[in-house]
Structure 1
Amino acid sequence: MAAEHEISRQQDLYYADGSVVLFAAHAGQTHAFKVHKSVLGSHSRVFADMFALPSATELETYDGVDSVNMPDDAKDLEDLLRALYYPATILSMLENRNPLAAMKYRGIFMLSQKYFVRVLQKLLRARFRADWPSTLQEWDKLMEQYDSLSESTVPQHDAASQFVDNRMLEPASAIRLAREANLPEILPAAFYMLSTISPFMDFDSLRSGSPPTLTDSEGNVLVWVPGERTARWGLLTPSDMMCLMRGKHYLTEFAQKIDQEAGRCLCDTNHCVQYINRRKLLKGPTQDLLRVLNEIGSTVTPAHYSCHDAMHMLASRCIEARSRLWENFCYYFGLPDIDDDQNDDDSDDVALGDPEGAEFRNE
């Protein structure tokens, strides 16, 4: 255990009548939490079993009670304890589509699984599931919301809040969380969103004080433009990068097949509406193919145009193709089948304990 002067006590989580002190480290500093075995045990079967087991040797003590050295990060443990003692803090965690959620709450989510704090685990799992669209209709609604965000602000690299995608879901961190916490439901939408973002546009690098100068294969300088999405590319594992590359390959093939099956308009010139729309399909990786298909499908060609019939056929194919594309994301990106693991015997309609309740008693 660290020396007394090296221990930081979390005052609002250090109860005079606490029955156990939990020690955990963060950034080289030891933090102490004096809490109640009854509170932890009432929410977590792991804690309940740990405190119920007879010890072969006498437990270490600190400040007159048992003490336990926890292997977890102190910041994550603090978030977990705060959620148990101050349930209102959960409301901020459940903020709708917080773009930082996958990064900010990863620790507490993983601890809720590790210590089987079932209620908290279910609440956070439901939040992440709700954030990411599971149907094409939900995806379209989310894109409508994003389209309404202002894209007119030119960013200053010392003012990261001016990036419009600070208010949008960040797919790379969501993928990392989904893999670690077994949340396959959010992977299809997250991988597709990531496929529409240039790998040169890195979330953290562009927000640094001195963003790096990037060039393409021909030496042209790549410049971030207002409204362009960024991603935390460094969070992707090699296997997830392979999934992304596989998905981009299939998306390109899908677009090429739509183009090949569309048929050709009789005029077939560079000014032909159908020709122009078919070219949109073939712009390659990082384009939002769902958006392109929707734009083509929404194109209205006057009946007297010579390309009317051909364009009508292409538009119909594109609208139908959007549903097929969405349904095949798991296959395209090589993702696991989605299996709802929430069909268990535990009720989801429960709340964290009232901090004024009986379980917060002196032991």
Structure 2
Amino acid sequence: MILSPCTWVAKDGLRCSTMNGLHGLTLSEHLWYEDGNVILVATNQAFRVHRGVLSQHSAVFRDLFTVPQPSSALLVDGCAVVHLADDPLHLEFLLSAMYDRSYLQRIAEVASGILSLSHKYDIESFYEEAIYRLLEDYPVTFDRFRSTEQYFLEPFEAAHHAGSIFIINAARRIRTPELLELLPLAFYLCSLLDGSLLVKGVPRSNGELEKLSADDLLRCINGKEGLMKANAAATMCLGPFTESLADDCKVFETCKKALVAITQDALEADIFSACDALTNIDSWIDEKARKYALCERCAGNIRSVHRDAQKEVWDTLIDIFELREDLPTSTDLAPSGR
């Protein structure tokens, strides 16, 4: 069956079908309620839901349903059909959250999809909660980032953060200050991805691939060189230089020998040449300090110097990925909820 062309009533970019067929459409398995009284169509996906649920959450939908249908309008099983120019997967995420609030989860794909449509349909509570969920995994301050366990040397895996592609694309779609503020970390994480995954894209829930735009892909590729240089500078404290040792070290010669051994281990672990300039390696430093009898004063000094160097890298991400014009100003970030 193929959905026939329809006469429609325009309202805020939406249109109401006046034909009685859903030809060629895939009916949602999970969002097709027999007692539903409106059918939403996005691309080739159809969802039979309830006007009351939509109106309860969204003033945009509430206003839409006040538009009188033409007398010639034909219904599908008693339901008006509303065509939406939305990504059907994002619409599925949004509707699922309307019926089950727990669906607003930390998965970047889901949260980003809900963000895009909650912004469009003026569902402020969903927008704010989705941002909150993303901030749990994608902090916007260095201190919060560095204290987040998943960014420690163990168990950090770049592939686990491929969802940052969804965040970048969502920020490009709706450009809200809260999403734009996530861009520096999102680009940093994308730049660490395997080249094939970065170019081909990350799988979506429907089997399709989510890809970066050509411009943003280029930002990631070019940013790798900047990150390698930044990391080389940030890890200088692990080199065989006495400046890295504490001024008040009581066992200087022992710590000097220990630092040489630590440098060798860092070389073998590719710490100096890596792109992941922001990975928290405090535990690695402590492990090597114990192994080679580096005193706590010197170990603490190395940790502190490395942390300060990483903070400088964090602050320059916007330049490494050429994002200065994209980021919101302090005025944009004033507490307004949206």
TM-score by length of 1: 0.60
Distance 2:49 2:297 in 1: 75
> What secondary structure, in the 3-state scheme, does the structure 1 residue paired with 2:275 have?
coil
| Aligned position for 1:154 | none
Partner of 1:252: 228
Q: 2 CA distance for matches of 1:206 and 1:344?
A: 33
Instruction: Assess if the C-alpha contact under 8 Å between 2:202 and 2:209 holds in 1.
Output: no
Say which SS state the counterpart of residue 327 (structure 2) adopts.
Answer: coil
User: 1:176 aligns to what?
Assistant: 169
- For structure 2, the residue ranges without an aligned partner over 5 or more in a row are 5-20, 244-252
Match of 1:286 in 2: 275
Tell me the residue number matched to 1:92. 103
Aligned to 2:17: none
> Would you say how many aligned residue pairs link Structure 1 and Structure 2?
295
SS in structure 2 at match of 1:103: helix
Separation (CA, whole Å) in 1 of partners of 2:337 and 2:278: 41
Aligned 8 A contact 1:203 1:233 in 2:
no
The more displaced of 75-84 and 291-300 is 291-300
- Tell me, which stretches of 5 or more residues in structure 1 are unaligned? 152-163, 208-231, 347-363
- Provide Cα deviations, 1:184-227, integer angstroms capped at 9, x if missing partner: 232222222333344256698999xxxxxxxxxxxxxxxxxxxx
2:33 is matched with 14
Distance 1:69 1:301, change over 3 A: closer
RMSD over equivalenced CA pairs, Å: 4.9
Superposition deviation, residue 46 in structure 1 = 1.8
State the 1:143 CA deviation. Answer: 3.5
Which 10-residue stretch deviates more, 282-291 or 245-254? Answer: 282-291
Aligned counterpart in structure 1 of residue 327 of structure 2, from 337, 340, 343: 337
Pairwise mapping of residues 312-351 of structure 1 onto structure 2 (< 5 A)? 316-335=304-323, 336-338=326-328, 341=333, 343-344=335-336
Change (3 A) 1:204 1:64: same
Q: Which residue of 2 aligns with 1:196?
A: 192
Question: Relative CO higher for 1 or 2, CA cutoff 8 Å, sep ≥ 6?
Answer: 1
The whole-number CA distance in structure 2 between the counterparts of 1:92 and 1:43 is: 15
Q: Identify if the C-alpha distance between structure 1 residues 205 and 123 changes in structure 2 by more than 3 Å, giving closer, same or farther.
A: closer
- CA gap of 1:80–1:133, structure 2 versus 1, over 3 A, is closer
Q: In the alignment, residue 218 of structure 2 is paired with which amino acid?
A: M
Q: Does the alignment pair 1:48 with 2:62?
A: yes
Q: Which residue of 1 aligns with 2:128?
A: 122
Aligned-pair CA distance for 1:91: 1.0
Q: State yes or no: 1:33 paired with 2:48.
A: yes
- 1:345 shift after superposition: 6.7
Change (3 A) 1:60 1:77: farther
CA distance in 2, matches of 1:167, 1:31: 32
User: Partners in 1 of 2:163 and 2:289 — Cα distance?
Assistant: 34
What letter corresponds to residue 120 of structure 1 in structure 2? Answer: F
Equivalent in 58, 81, 102 of residue 108 of structure 2: 102
Q: TM-score, normalised by structure 2?
A: 0.63
Identity of aligned residues (%): 21
